[in-house]
Homo-oligomer: A and B are copies of this chain.
Amino acid sequence: MQLLKDRILKDGVVKAGGVLKVDSFLNHQIDVSLYREIGKEFYRRFENMGINKILTIEASGIGIACVTAEAFGDCPVVFAKKAESKNLDGELYTTKVTSFTKGREYNVIVSKKFIGKGDRVLIIDDFLANGCALIGLMELVEQSGAELVGAGIVIEKGFQRGGEIIRQKGIKLESLAIVESMDEENGVVFRN
């Protein structure tokens, strides 16, 4: 998606340790007009596939999923929650995910009320790197008995293994920008 790649080149910042900061427009400050174009592009790539539910994970996936849902005719969004809160009762799908950016493991949960057999689920997230979060969400979909239609990612770090692992499973994975390599000196190079 050229608009997104151009924005990453203009406003993204590469930091030491494999960190691509896009916090001025994607995941701290948010450009909602960009989100809307992202949503339309996900729709273009997943239309006519019977998607009736969008699943994401807190926190930075939520806004993207909501604006994308508007492109999918106001399809319901479900966001998986990290760790348990007093407000979540009833039966839950649960899995464990290790966070690269936070350096720790946490529980990820979705209420059984909101995904189940008969649902056709699109997973949406902002980043794909080692794939831990996405694999966790896929496990929740599998536990639910719903059909996983595919996964839409805004930025994939193509030099980490997540994308390869997930494509090898036969999942339809659509990343709007795939970073082939990046470093502080030369910036970001995208995969064609």
- How many chain A residues touch B (CB < 8 A): the figure is 44
Q: Is A12 an interface residue (CB 8 A)?
A: no
* Contact assessment for B70 and A36 in the assembled complex, using a CB-CB cutoff below 8 Å: yes
Q: Which of B28, B74, B113 contacts A24 (CB 8 A)?
A: B113
Q: Is A66 an interface residue (CB 8 A)?
A: yes
The digit string for A48-79, where 1 denotes a CB below 8 A from any CB of B, is 00000000001110110111011000111111
The digit string for A14-44, where 1 denotes a CB below 8 A from any CB of B, is 0101010101100011111101100000000
* Contact assessment for A32 and B87 in the assembled complex, using a CB-CB cutoff below 8 Å: no
Nearest-CB residue, chain B, relative to A80: B28
Q: Which of B19, B28, B77, B81 contacts A59 (CB 8 A)?
A: B81
CB distance from A94 to the nearest CB of B (A): 14
Q: Is A102 an interface residue (CB 8 A)?
A: yes
Known: A17-B86, A33-B74. A28 touches B111 (CB 8 A): yes
Known: A62-B59, A63-B63, A67-B66. A79 touches B15 (CB 8 A): no
Further 5 A-B residue pairs, CB within 8 A, beyond A32-B75, A62-B66, A63-B79: A23-B87, A28-B110, A29-B113, A30-B79, A85-B102
